[in-house]
Each structure stands twice: as C-alpha cells, then as structure tokens.
Amino acid sequence: MTVQTAGRRTRRPETRLWRVPVRRVEQVTPRLVRVAVGGDELADFVGAGTDQNVMLYFYPDDVELPEPLTLEAARGLWSQVRPLTRTYTIRRHDAAANEIDFDFVLHDAPGPASDWARAARPGDRLIFVGPSPAYRPDQTADWYLLAGDETALPAIAAILDALPAGAVTRVFVEVEDALEELPLPVPATWVHRASGGSLAGAVAAADLPSGRVEAWLAGERSSMVALRAHLLDERGFDRRRVRPTTYWRRGEAGG
Ligand SMILES: Cc1cc2nc3c(=O)[nH]c(=O)nc-3n(C[C@H](O)[C@H](O)[C@H](O)COP(=O)(O)OP(=O)(O)OC[C@H]3O[C@@H](n4cnc5c(N)ncnc54)[C@H](O)[C@@H]3O)c2cc1C
C-alpha cells in the first residue's frame, strides 16, 4: 500500500488489529523497557513514519479470544468484554525483519501497560490497533523545538530522523535522573525531575534561536500547559506553530 501525504499528517495506512509475539525484552534504563514484537503477523504492516502510534489492547487473562482476532471480531466482543486501551509510539519498525519496538516507561503507580511491560517475556502476545497518522515536520521552518518527557522520547527520536539534513534543533527532555538519559542523534538538554527540574523551566532559561519555529511538545498534561503558556505568552510564538499533546495525566489512568 502506498502511503500518501495530506497536509501535515501522513494519511492513515489501513487500521488493523495486530496480535504479535514478543521477540525480545530489554531493560534499557532503570525505568524504561524496550519490547520488540515480531513475526509473520507483521508482514502486511505499513508504517506511517515519525510519531506514529498504536492503541494497545489489554484483555483480562481469563478471556478466551477468537482466532484470528480481527478488529471486527474484537468489536463483536464489546458487549461481553472491552479491553483496556493505552496509546504507545512505534519506536522502530523494521519492515525487513517484520519487527516493531515499543519503549515502555515503567512508572510506580499500577497501570495495565506499564505492568504488562514489566512482566513481558518472549512468546507473550501484544495486541494493538493502528497505526495512527504521523506528524510531518514542516521542512521549511528555520528551526525546530522538540520538548517532552520520557514517554515522548520514541516520538522525538523518530521526528529527528525525519527533519531535513542540517536542521537547527533545540531538544529538551525531562526524565527522572541522569540514569534515564538515552542517546539521540543531536545534542539535547536533559532536565532531571529528581533535582527539581521542569521542561518549562529549562526552556525558559534557554537562549533560543530566532526565526520561524516549529514546536512539537508532548508529555504530562500540566507540564504541557506550562510549556505552551511560556512559549505563547512569554516568547510570543505563533500559536499555529506550537503543537502540544498530552500523553498522560498525573493521578489519572489513561485510555
Ligand atoms: C500519542 C501517544 C503516544 C505515547 N507513546 C508512549 C510511549 O511510546 N511510551 C510510553 O511509555 N508512553 C507513551 N504514551 C503515554 C502512555 O500512553 C501513558 O503514560 C499511559 O497512561 C500509560 O498507561 P498505563 O496503563 O501504564 O498507566 P495508566 O493506567 O494509564 O495510569 C495509572 C497511573 O499511572 C500514572 N502514569 C501514567 N503514565 C505515567 C508516566 N509516564 N509516569 C508516571 N506516572 C504515569 C497515571 O497518572 C495514573 O496515576 C503515549 C501517549 C500518547 C497519547
């Protein structure tokens, strides 16, 4: 299938339900687990690029699921059982190897996605629906501001890959502490929550370039509100060029 482009988003490839075995589980940092799923089940998977994400489906262990489990079959079950759903970014799609990596933040409060990743073992099966359309950075911006917490790291890494060669970037990532920092293809400012740092505080303290900016922001809701307010009210950014997304809300289960 050809992936067509429409405006600033890549048009959605066919939305399907995928049920794919875990191939590998890697503890990347103390609070981040990378789960690689793969197999012939992914032979028809068409990636949408950059920050494409999918909806993970978590069913109670005692539910017997039909084979094959299609999206239609899953919807047919809704009157009896609805899965808990959580949204995750595709960190890497290797079409040749029929493999997808997901990076799961392991947080302290219980949650079906984080708990699943903490216990994941090769052979477990992950169910997901998607992929979503993906963000296409404006290739003509003078510079790019990317800011987010660790849940946004997979998207930030994928967006960086899609920027024009030599693009001017300012990247800010909020993580718990230095142990959570990950390699990125460009320099980044790492903000440590454990030391009282915040995304809005770090961006406010930074000397930013001038010119036409494209700002992509993702993370915890209150952090997004503070950062957006800073960029619009104090920096005077054009609101049409600031794209904040709430990835999670403190004290609230997602879905
Ligand atoms: C488009 C999109 C892409 C995303 N991509 C990723 C991704 O690639 N990797 C990733 O890890 N997350 C990603 N997220 C965020 C993820 O969906 C949420 O963190 C989700 O709430 C986790 O589900 P859960 O079942 O683990 O916890 P939930 O059941 O949703 O929440 C349980 C409790 O944990 C808290 N909580 C949830 N997330 C966090 C967190 N990160 N840190 C601290 N406390 C938390 C909640 O506030 C709540 O109190 C993405 C979200 C969106 C919208």
- Of 111, 105, 63, 57, nearest to 84 by C-alpha is 57
- Of 196, 3, 32, nearest to 101 by C-alpha is 32
Predicted TM-score of the model (pTM): 0.95
**What's the pLDDT at 12?**
62
Return all residues near 107 (Cβ < 8 A) that are at least 6 apart: 31, 114
236: left (phi over 0), alpha (psi -120 to 50) or beta: left
**Mean pLDDT of the region 18-46:** 97
**What's the pLDDT at 50?**
85
Atom 8 (ligand 1) nearest CA: 89
Task: Please give the distance, rounded to the nearest whole angstrom, from the Cα atom of residue 246 to the centre of ligand 1.
Answer: 10
Give phi and psi for 249, each to the nearest 5.
-125, 130
Residue-wise pLDDT for 92-149, tens only, equals 999 999 999 999 999 999 999 999 999 999 999 999 999 988 888 898 999 999 999 9
Task: Please give the distance, rounded to the nearest whole angstrom, from the Cα atom of residue 247 to the centre of ligand 1.
Answer: 7
Task: Please give the distance, rounded to the nearest whole angstrom, from the Cα atom of residue 65 to the centre of ligand 1.
Answer: 25
Q: In the beta sheet, which residues pair with residue 106?
A: none
**What's the pLDDT at 11?**
55
Quick one: fold of 5-130?
Elongation Factor Tu (Ef-tu); domain 3 (2.40.30)
Pocket test for ligand 1, best of 106, 108, 114, 180 (most atoms within 8 A of CB): 114
Q: What are the start and end residues of each CATH 2.40.30.10 domain in the chain? A: 5-130
Ligand 1 neighbour 87 (Cβ under 6 A): yes
Ligand 1 neighbour 170 (Cβ under 6 A): no
| Residue-by-residue DSSP string for 130-148 | EPPP-B---TT-SEEEEEE
Decide: 206 and 170 in contact? Cβ < 8 Å: yes
- Pairing of β 5-6 and β 125-130: unpaired
pLDDT at 4 over 80: no
**What's the pLDDT at 122?**
98
Closest ligand 1 atom to residue 32 Cα is 11
**What's the pLDDT at 8?**
53
Closest ligand 1 atom to residue 105 Cα is 11
Residue 83, CA atoms < 13 Å, CB-side half-sphere = 25
Give phi and psi for 73, each to the nearest 5.
-65, -40
**Least confident residue range of 3-12, 22-31, 128-137:** 3-12
Percent of the chain with pLDDT over 90: 86
Quick one: fold of 143-248?
Rossmann fold (3.40.50)
**What's the pLDDT at 13?**
74
Residue-wise pLDDT for 172-202, tens only, equals 999 999 999 999 999 999 999 999 999 999 9
Residue-wise pLDDT for 58-86, tens only, equals 999 999 999 999 999 999 999 999 999 99
**What's the pLDDT at 3?**
29
Ligand 1 neighbour 253 (Cβ under 6 A): yes
Atom 37 (ligand 1) nearest CA: 248
**Host H or E run for residue 27:** strand 16-29
Mean of the per-residue pLDDT values for the chain?
A: 93
Q: What are the start and end residues of each CATH 3.40.50.80 domain in the chain? A: 143-248
Residue-wise pLDDT for 239-255, tens only, equals 999 999 999 999 999 86
Task: Please give the distance, rounded to the nearest whole angstrom, from the Cα atom of residue 28 to the centre of ligand 1.
Answer: 17
Residue-wise pLDDT for 229-239, tens only, equals 999 999 999 99
Give phi and psi for 76, each to the nearest 5.
-65, -25
The burial of 198, by beta-carbon neighbours within 10 Å (0-12 exposed, 13-18 middle, 19 or more buried), is given as middle
pLDDT at 7 over 50: no
Ligand 1 neighbour 151 (Cβ under 6 A): yes
**Mean pLDDT of the region 40-44:** 95
pLDDT band at 14 (very low <50, low <70, confident <90, very high): confident
Pocket test for ligand 1, best of 31, 151, 245 (most atoms within 8 A of CB): 151
Task: Please give the distance, rounded to the nearest whole angstrom, from the Cα atom of residue 199 to the centre of ligand 1.
Answer: 18
Ligand 1 neighbour 57 (Cβ under 6 A): no
Decide: 36 and 142 in contact? Cβ < 8 Å: no
Helix (H, G, I), strand (E, B) or coil at 205: helix
Task: Please give the distance, rounded to the nearest whole angstrom, from the Cα atom of residue 88 to the centre of ligand 1.
Answer: 8
